[in-house]
């Protein structure tokens, strides 16, 4: 079975807190609906190019796990890539780790994630972790007393910032932010506070105070996250952003020569965050990756070359892969 760089139909989700930047960025037009999330690469994404068009990512993994993920047996792909656009605050929330996901929900995977800030209005901020010396018991008391914001830490962010959000970190994304999210494949979310608003259906959304407090681990977040020095490889600037359990993430600014990327027996997830289309070459095949699009590079490709016809510092990609420590 022939493998090649896979493009997908993104899954666009309407959210009460969503905006209009994702559709504008991807397609050059706006929608009336508040689109909060675009699921770029996940197990049920539908492939839109080449011989495997119409299949889902997961179905292709199941039919050929060795070529797709470098393993003899198929499994649900463990990483998920999203683009999020927040016009309003997301709920204050927390995700379980692997152990608590199994205990509380019977699921094998929790949710650790990271964010790369793509755009941020002046003054934009996130809610990240609890204030110093604020315990889970203190936060529980604050919620009971009707002051759910009392223990929350708020931090300013700007474009280019990297935020690591390990499971157990209480967090929320603030208005005026569009970001890239790399996460474990899980949608288990426990809302602790939802800003006293109603959802798209006109009803208050459910809160999950007991489970959320059970999962909360004050002090588990790392901000600012330590960034390593950039490397220059054949004129391409490679900035290592994240090296943690579950995933690794790099920012690559393309130079005047194609960037050589080796799979190392694992698939790679690439997202074009720049202002121009990029070209991914494998053997005699070249796949064009439009602006604001993502591509799955199967493990069997071994090596690809990433380039652009434009020489500009705004030709940038994010490159993600599984990582074990």
Residues 90 and 210 reside in one and the same domain: yes
Residues 195 and 269 reside in one and the same domain: no
Q: Is residue 141 part of a domain?
A: yes
Residues 155 and 20 reside in one and the same domain: yes
Q: Is residue 15 part of a domain?
A: yes
Residue 1, pLDDT score: 72
Residues 264 and 299 reside in one and the same domain: yes
Residues 201 and 240 reside in one and the same domain: no
For residues 275 and 313, the answer to whether their CB atoms sit within 8 Å is: no
Nearest-angstrom CA–CA distance, 273 and 221: 25
Q: Is residue 33 part of a domain?
A: yes
Residues 193 and 315 reside in one and the same domain: no
Tens digits of pLDDT across the chain (325 residues):
789 999 999 999 999 999 999 999 999 998 899 999 999 999 999 999 999 999 999 999 999 999 999 999 999 999 999 999 999 999 999 999 999 999 999 999 999 999 999 999 999 999 999 999 899 999 999 999 999 999 999 999 999 999 999 999 999 999 999 999 999 999 999 999 999 999 999 999 999 999 999 999 999 999 999 988 999 999 999 999 999 999 999 999 999 899 999 999 999 999 999 999 999 999 999 999 999 999 999 999 999 999 998 877 789 999 999 997 6
> Where in the sequence is the domain holding 100, given as residue range(s)?
6-215
Structural domains counted in the chain: 2
Nearest-angstrom CA–CA distance, 77 and 68: 10
For residues 77 and 47, the answer to whether their CB atoms sit within 8 Å is: no
Residue 271, pLDDT score: 98
Examine the fold and report which residue of 161, 180, 215 is the final residue of a domain before the chain moves on: 215
Residue 310, pLDDT score: 85
Residue 313, pLDDT score: 75
Examine the fold and report which residue of 161, 188, 215 is the final residue of a domain before the chain moves on: 215
Q: Is residue 27 part of a domain?
A: yes
Residue 205, pLDDT score: 95
Q: Is residue 56 part of a domain?
A: yes
Examine the fold and report which residue of 215, 248, 266 is the final residue of a domain before the chain moves on: 215
Q: Is 197 helix (H, G, I), strand (E, B) or coil?
A: coil
* pTM of the predicted structure, to 2 decimals: 0.97
User: What are the C-alpha distances in Å from 74 to residues 61, 212, 265, 299?
Assistant: 6, 32, 15, 13
User: What are the C-alpha distances in Å from 19 to residues 31, 40, 92?
Assistant: 9, 17, 18
What is the 3-state secondary structure of 38-106? EEEECCCCEECCHHHCCCEHHHHHHHCHHHHHCCCCCCCCCEEEEEEEECCCCCEEECCCHHHHHHHHC
Residues 136 and 248 reside in one and the same domain: no
* H-helix or E-strand spanning residue 25: helix 21-27
Q: Is residue 223 part of a domain?
A: no
Residue 282, pLDDT score: 95
Residue 325, pLDDT score: 67
Nearest-angstrom CA–CA distance, 262 and 173: 34
Residues 204 and 315 reside in one and the same domain: no
Residues 185 and 279 reside in one and the same domain: no
Residues 205 and 235 reside in one and the same domain: no
Q: Is residue 226 part of a domain?
A: no
**Residue that the structure tokens 């529980």 belong to:** 140
Residues 211 and 235 reside in one and the same domain: no
Q: Name which of 85, 94, 155, 86 is nearest 127 in CA terms.
A: 155
What CATH number is given to the structural domain containing 281? 2.60.120.10
Residues 290 and 316 reside in one and the same domain: yes
Q: Is residue 224 part of a domain?
A: no
For residues 67 and 298, the answer to whether their CB atoms sit within 8 Å is: yes
The catalytic site residues sit at 191
């Amino acid at each position: 079975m022939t493998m090649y760089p896979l493009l997908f139909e993104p899954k666009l989700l309407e959210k009460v807190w969503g905006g209009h930047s994702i559709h504008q960025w991807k397609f050059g037009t706006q929608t009336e609906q508040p689109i909060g999330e675009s699921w770029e690469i996940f197990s049920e994404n539908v492939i839109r190019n080449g011989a495997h068009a119409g299949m889902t990512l997961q179905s292709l993994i199941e039919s050929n796990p060795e070529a797709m993920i470098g393993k003899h047996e198929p499994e649900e792909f463990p990483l998920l890539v999203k683009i999020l656009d927040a016009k309003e605050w997301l709920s204050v929330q927390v995700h379980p780790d692997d152990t608590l996901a199994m205990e509380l929900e019977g699921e094998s995977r929790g949710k650790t994630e990271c964010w790369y800030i793509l755009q941020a209005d002046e003054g934009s901020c996130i809610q990240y972790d609890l204030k110093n010396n604020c315990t889970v018991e203190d936060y529980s008391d604050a919620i009971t007393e009707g002051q759910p914001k009392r223990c929350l830490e708020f931090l300013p962010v700007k474009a280019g910032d990297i935020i690591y959000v390990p499971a157990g970190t209480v967090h929320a994304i603030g208005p005026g932010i569009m970001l890239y999210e790399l996460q474990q494949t899980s949608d288990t979310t426990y809302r602790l506070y939802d800003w006293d608003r109603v959802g798209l259906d006109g009803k208050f959304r459910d809160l999950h105070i007991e489970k959320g407090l059970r999962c909360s681990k004050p002090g588990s977040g790392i901000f600012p996250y330590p960034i390593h020095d950039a490397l220059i490889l054949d004129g391409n600037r490679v900035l290592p952003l994240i090296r943690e359990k579950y995933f690794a993430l790099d920012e690559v600014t393309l130079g005047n020569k194609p960037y050589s990327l080796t799979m190392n027996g694992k698939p790679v997830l690439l997202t074009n965050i720049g202002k121009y289309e990029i070209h991914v070459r494998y053997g005699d095949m070249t796949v064009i990756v439009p602006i604001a699009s993502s591509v799955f590079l199967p493990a069997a490709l071994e090596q690809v070359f990433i380039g652009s016809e434009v020489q500009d510092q705004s030709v940038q990609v994010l490159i993600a892969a599984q990582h074990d420590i």
